[in-house]
Amino acid sequence: MRRRALVFAVVAAGLAVAGAAVLLPAPTVSSRPVADPLDRATVRLGSPGLDERLAAIHELEGLMWGYESPHQPAVMRALSAFVRSRAPAGAGCGDAEPAKDVQVAMDVLGHRATARDEDTVMDLHGVCLARIVMTYINLAHANLAGADLTGATFAGMTLTGVDLTGARLTSANLTQAVLVDADLTDADLAGATLTNARWSDGTVWPPRYEPAIDAASSLDGSLHVIGNLTL
């Protein structure tokens, strides 16, 4: 009897353990978090492949233009940093036109909706945009201090409040550009075309060019308009 009771006790204990195991909650398996699209596109900007970088730029452009998108300031910072890294001014700058991805990134920045900037400044200081062609788009309030813009075409560009201190604008085409409140302290404007460019009393010109600019300018309301002038 004792042996039979012992067997029953062992079997009962085993059933109890098995029942407890069945009642244990199943482990929770967490799904892999989806990467933030802004971060993903920004990482792709560093790809070694041109097509991949261009795709990243267009992905950022799409995020910027999304309905009520909050991403524009972040996109501006990402693309500005990309241009600085891909087109730094220095030896050999200006020997060729900007790389295709640099041109596309600048076009995206220039065609943004400025009302969404949220006081974000495009930091493009010290970049090499020599020979770039950008017409009738908006780079208002950008930081282009020390940039090499030799032979650039900025015809009709909105450059309101732009920092161009120490920038190289030799032989640049600034026809019909808006230079209201722009700071061109120590900028090199030798050979630059300023025909029909508009500027304000807040615009700072390098002193050596002021006599020629003043002589060629006339008032149009509160702004000055430069006549036919190549420095």
CATH (domain of 220): 2.160.20
> What integer best gives the mean pLDDT of the chain?
87
164 C-beta neighbours (distance < 10 Å), count: 24
| Mean pLDDT, residues 173-194 taken together | 98
Does position 64 have pLDDT exceeding 90, yes or no? Answer: no
Residue 7 has pLDDT above 90, yes or no: no
Per-residue model confidence (pLDDT) at position 103: 96
Q: Collapsing DSSP states into helix, strand and coil, what is residue 24?
A: coil
pLDDT at 35: 59
Q: Does 26 fall in a domain?
A: no
Of 3-17, 59-73, 144-158, the range with the lowest mean pLDDT is: 3-17
Residue 210 belongs to a domain: yes
Residue 28 reports pLDDT greater than 50: no
**21 domain-assigned:** no
Query: Is the pLDDT assigned to residue 4 strictly greater than 60?
Result: no
pLDDT at 24: 44
**Number of domains, the chain:** 1
pTM of the model as a whole: 0.82
12 in any annotated domain: no
Residue 115 per-residue DSSP state: G
Range list of β-strands (E), 108-148: none
* Residue 32 is assigned to a structural domain of this protein: no
Question: Which residue is it, tokens 């012992």?
Answer: 6
Residue 74 located in a structural domain: yes
153: in domain: yes
Select the more confidently predicted residue: 231 or 116.
231
Q: How far apart are CA 32 and CA 35, in angstroms?
A: 9
Q: Is 110 part of any domain?
A: yes
Report the Cα–Cα distance between both ends of the chain, in Å, rounded. Answer: 118
CB 156, CB 199: distance < 8 Å? no
Q: Name the residue range of residue 127's domain.
A: 37-226
